[in-house]
Structure 1
Amino acid sequence: MKFYLSSFKIGNEERKLIELTENGNKKVAYINNALDFATDLERKNKSDVADVSELQRIGFTVDVLDLKMYFNNHEGLKEKLDQYDVIWVRGGNTFVLAQAMRLSGLDEIIKKYYREKRDILYGGYSAGGCILGPTLKGIHLVDEPEQKPYGNEHQAIWEGLCILDYVIAPHYKSDHKESNDMDRAIEFMIENKILFKALRDGEVIIIE
């Protein structure tokens, strides 16, 4: 399993992203559930269209995959994902993404792919990278933990997928509305001895 983890959008390693997927069918499952809390649907849709267009521009075939369609149908999601070379998880609220992953079973599917060294690329940006760490503590100073678009009966999830042993801190010192909040998050992680890697917008972590 390979990882392409950007601070924002595709980032500055576009050529490397193409190389990482050159032997596959270029099919991308685009997951946008980190924005399920959004109330401005027109703005959300424009953002999704821009993301999809960017991936298509570099040669990918993109399907939008709504995890809500697979809540309580984990096997159905696993069968669907077997058709793709790339899982691309966009940014938004990391806590909302954690809920969607758990309810659909995507969290365990990704962990299984990782354990089995599956020939698939996990890519994405912002929340899509943050979710892979050991904890969401620190990220709570940027993303609201109590956003619950799937019902108040679901408790906030504070654990990441533990695939990385550090937290990705995106938008560091960047021209992004969350940059100042990320400074506070990094201070929290330093004080609480949480390992992290700060990324400026444009920067990408690549794991092959």
Structure 2
Amino acid sequence: MKYYLSSYKFGDKIEKIKNILPQGAKIGHINNARDWTTASPEIRDSHLKEEMEFIDNLDFISEHLDLKNYFGKENELRDKIASLDGIWVCGGNAFVLRQAMKLSGFDNIFKELQKRDDFFYGGYSAGVCILSDSLKYIQFVDNPNDFPYKNVTETVWEGLNLFSYGILPHYDSEHSESEEIEREVKRCINNKWLFKTLRDGEVIIIE
């Protein structure tokens, strides 16, 4: 799998995406990190529309891939993702995103996708934090006890385990979470946890 991992939004290396994906590639936009219980539906939909239009303007074809539609339907989600060339996973609450991934079976599908060299994973903030081995690195940035989905009452701490360390976005940036990220950096240092910071605009590209 190929990765374009940004601290915030699409970052400063947008043209690189065009080198990773062919023109007309189909991208599923996963917006579930914005499903936290007090989120404004209007703001959530506005961000979704803005990001999908941005993807379309890069000469790709975007569509909303709502994991809620696949809760308990892992094979259906697998088939849907097989029809795409990649996914874009937005920021928000990483713990809520993790719940949606578990309920839909995305966890298992992600392991399969890692074996492909023709699939694209792009995202920012929560969509990047989720790739760590654990979400413990950001437990004071995002609320780990927000449960917007029915019958989910326990925090999922395990990440997707692409990285064996934490990714801390918005570091030293003009972002509302930068101060909390700074505290998380100190906590990682105190606990001797491995981590990598990303400033807004910075991007990790893996091909």
Q: How does 1:54-73 map to 2 (within 5 A)?
A: 54-73=54-73
Runs (5+) with no aligned partner, structure 1: none
In 2, Cα distance between equivalents of 1:156 and 1:5: 24
Whether 2:99 is the aligned partner of 1:94: answer no
1:108 CA displacement: 1.3
Identity of aligned residues (%): 46
CA displacement at 1:25 relative to structure 2? 4.3
For the aligned residue pairs, the C-alpha RMSD in angstroms reads: 1.2
SS class of match (1:81): helix
Question: In structure 2, how many angstroms separate the alpha carbons of the residues matched to 1:112 and 1:143?
Answer: 28
CA contact (8 A) 2:24 2:59 kept: no
Q: TM-score normalised to the size of structure 1? A: 0.95
Deviation at 1:163, TM superposition (A): 0.9
**Aligned length, in residue pairs:** 206
Question: Which 5+ residue runs of structure 2 have no aligned equivalent?
Answer: none
User: Residue 111 of structure 1 contacts residue 163 of structure 1 at CA under 8 Å; is this kept in 2?
Assistant: no
| Aligned counterpart, 2:204 | 205
Amino acid at match of 1:119: D
SS across alignment from 1:95: helix
Distance 2:7 2:13 in 1: 11
- Mapped to 1, the partners of 2:28 and 2:154 lie a distance apart of 27
Q: Which amino acid aligns with 1:182?
A: I
Cα distance between partner residues in 2 of 1:134 and 1:192: 15
Greater mean deviation of Cα atoms: 7-16 or 117-126: 117-126
What TM-score results when the alignment is normalised by the length of structure 2?
A: 0.96
Question: Deviations along 1:113-150, whole A, 9 cap, x unmatched?
Answer: 11x23420111000000000111112111000001000
Query: 1 CA distance for matches of 2:129 and 2:146?
Result: 17
Instruction: Quote the offset at 1:152 in angstroms.
Output: 5.3
Q: Tell me which residue corresponds to 1:139.
A: 138
2:96 and 2:147 in contact (8 A); partners too: yes
